[in-house]
Amino acid sequence: MAFKALFIRPSNATGSAYMTKWGFLPAPLGLLDLAGEILRIPGAEVKIIDMEGDNLTLDDVVSMSVNYKPDMVGITLHATAAHNNAGYIARKIKESLPDTVMVAGGHHATFLPVEIINSGFDISVLGEGDETIYDIAMAIINHHDFSTVKGIYYRNGDRILKTEPRELISDLDSLPYPPLELLDSSKYTFKVYGEHEKVMCLETSRGCPYACDFCSVTPTWGNKWRNKSNDRIIEEMKRAKSAGYTWIFFTDDIFIVFPNVKQREELFKRIIEEKIDMKWIVQMRADVTSKNPELIKLAAEAGMGISFLGVESGSKEILKKMHKGEFTPQSVDAVRILSQNNIVVLVGMMIGAPYERLRDAISTVRFSRKLGRAGADAVQFSIYTPLPGTRIFDNALKNNELFTLDWDRYDVLTPVMKTKVGPVLDQIIQFYASYSFYIYKFIIGKIRNDRLGGIKKKLIDNGTQFILKMMPVYLRDFFSFPRFLFKTYDLYSYGRKKMKISQERIKEILQTSNKIVYANKQKNPYFMIKNK
């Protein structure tokens, strides 16, 4: 009988703000990558269930999974806030199919593997799971135990065991192409920019060499940045276009790093020469952007339609404490350069760092206005959230600064830790900053009579129409805000006085959180560059 694998993307308990507010749902690339590995096995069958793309309830997911009767189920914890939903799905499937092997992967599974297994999984994968998922499948097929599968925690009777660490994949070109045929492209929409726009995720690199204190990306990928060749990237773009996608979201945590500027320049030229003609979204650093204006101009010609900049704060002191490695003038220059090239500029900022004072938060709100004047089109104000795998999470856990370990709240939109300003006031500032930015941007645009050009005008016009259509949803959220504030206040009051995390649980978490999970034998400590 053929080996059957099922991969599931669960939703967060609070849902996806990107989907509900912007109609943005990118295809689940991580699950496609894993599916590609399984399809290397002769005769293997693979199915993907996307809880958001298929608009399913938890019980719908369980029912579909049980009916498929898989030998292995892989669930991605793409976000910490998906923990509880993922655990529920795993337990329910296991109740009906006790012999099915339940596997968890992703950032959260990497840094809380014991908790993951105790929530209902058989295996928690550490770090990148491409080769690991193949080895797990072969162990199941050959009826072997999992002790020889590198890079996992697994349940063995009443014990939870850890295997040898796995090396990073040095050559990303060696990975199978994502089997796009497993997905229905019509589900992966980008409605804010057009009713018929469809977005595929692709990766051109993995990792981040920087050390921001709030980010779990760096330890997840072993403090390294690796990239695919231009030949491989071009081929994947062509496949996405053939599958009906009009946008590509390059999931790279940093699309351009200083050592790779030349390779990106060559990539952009090839995209233009080969007339791929797709729009794409990237995540960039302000320092690289501000120092390479000609490269950004070329990128715009090649299809860069949207760029997300993680600016984080308007306070130099806070940026230094975050170990961001950037300064506010660079962010203004980067926004201006992107905007001048008719690229839609999205900016990420944070409120509520534990070392942030009220004046720092006010500086961030004011700085967002400055970025708006420079050309920023949208600002996403997040709540600073100590995610497992970060230094700040470990510190908060040790110092009793978390007032809840309810993973549903770790959605970077709701406070979970004690701060100098206070979580309720942090939430008020975040709410005010988010809504007031767009009012300010609208007024400034009218006063200055801003005239947009090229693709940016079309995107902004489409986005404006979508926002007007979604106005009832925004108004509902606006009037629901006091209820969210009261919930934060009640949870904070209870957690501050009564929540006690046992020393045993703290010790268990700290043994795995914020640890490099790879057997690192590479000489270069930060970059593994493929120059063509």
How do the domains of the chain map onto residue ranges? 4-162, 180-512
pLDDT of residue 449: 60
Fold of the domain spanning 4-162: Rossmann fold (3.40.50)
Residue 352 has pLDDT above 80, yes or no: yes
Decide which of 3.40.50.620, 3.50.50.60, 3.40.50.300, 3.20.20.70 is the CATH code for 180-512.
Answer: 3.20.20.70
- Angle (CA) 101-102-103 rounded to 5° is 115
Predicted confidence band of residue 64 (pLDDT cuts 50, 70, 90): very high
For residues 248 and 452, the model is more confident at 248
pLDDT of residue 446: 66
Mean pLDDT taken over the chain: 90
pLDDT of residue 28: 93
pLDDT of residue 494: 81
Instruction: Tell me the range of 223-227, 280-284, 445-449 where mean pLDDT is highest.
Output: 280-284
Instruction: Tell me the range of 2-16, 182-196, 284-298, 446-460 where mean pLDDT is highest.
Output: 284-298
Identify the weakest region by mean pLDDT among 116-125, 222-231, 352-361, 422-431: 222-231
pTM over 0.85: yes
Residue 427 has pLDDT above 70, yes or no: yes
Predicted confidence band of residue 480 (pLDDT cuts 50, 70, 90): confident
Identify the weakest region by mean pLDDT among 148-162, 203-217, 339-353: 203-217
pLDDT of residue 517: 83
Instruction: Tell me the range of 218-227, 318-327, 346-355 where mean pLDDT is highest.
Output: 346-355
Q: Tell me which DSSP letter residue 401 carries.
A: -
Of 330, 326, 260, give the one whose Cα is nearest residue 295.
260
pLDDT of residue 479: 77
Q: Which two tokens stand for residue 354?
A: 């534990």
Please state the rounded mean pLDDT for residues 112-126.
Answer: 96
Q: What is the DSSP string of 46-113?
A: EEEEETTTTT--HHHHHHHHHHH--SEEEEE--SGGGHHHHHHHHHHHHHH-TTSEEEEESHHHHH-H
Q: Which residue has the tokens 């390779």?
A: 263
